[in-house]
Structure 1
């Protein structure tokens, strides 16, 4: 069984995965700039026309980590494989796309946060969320903030342009105006 903070983080990550996949999909197109060095480098083969790491994350796959005897799986487990594997555990069915699988896991919330395998689910979804966030290049746009989170009291609040302030630990969100009011209260308390 998951504690409240982990369950909230899992819910936040599941709801963010479809959007992260959409942003990561944009990185599949080949870049118009040269990323592979000068023309004088000796290459046996031409560079891949797509970002292979993102292609591996967004491509087809099945959750068969223990059956990959030939080592064909390169890199992380594809997102659809992780989500379908957990959908099979929760509902006994597969789902065609990432959005549908995330919706099903969110709809079956008591089953996904109150069972003995919930910690494994949270670990797998957290790992997948981190990989998709890195592939979507969202880390560079986050700005850490100075105040503690009002819910979990950790210094994990982050701001992103055009979005609400959110806690990377528990998933709590607040508007930028609310954060500014809290910052003004803290400044008044310390006399700044």
Structure 2
């Protein structure tokens, strides 16, 4: 039974998808805790309603990013995590924190990495004339929005798309690939070699959505 700790800063819709899928598919894992840097994060209420332990650590109470990350790691380690999942955790993590969880820290980013790291990914995809947009689940490395790719989902960029409409369609696919990627990790179904991630039985790591 593997322990999963999920970090959020807001409503945590990807966290909800992971929690629900873990329960419905009866993974050999449990959500040990949901941790947020904001007491107002809507996802905390959802987690508590499912009987999941929650914790809040306000980054504003710390003078430096390093001090916050050190305390955050101490809190997380109290739940003995096998996997730490970033689900809309809006903090740039220090190299020390990332190294501490190397190989067991994953994130989802709303673009087809390596394209469009950073913010405003959907608007940038539209402005660039991209015909596809999407999301990427990846292992976290010290370089922001990089790291070995676990899974991706792609949707077409429609001629009348706005940032909001494209974002909504991509988010729907995020709720498919993120639980799937977490399940693969839990089942020891992933192999990381030379910076590339492969599913051990060849299950598709790309989802094509509408």
TM score, norm. by length of structure 2: 0.26
Task: Flag the structure with more relative contact order, 1 or 2, with Cα contacts below 8 A and sequence separation at least 6.
Answer: 1
TM score, norm. by length of structure 1: 0.28
Structure whose alpha-carbon radius of gyration is higher: 1
**Would you tell me which structure has more strand in proportion to its own residues?**
2
**Would you tell me which structure has more helix in proportion to its own residues?**
1
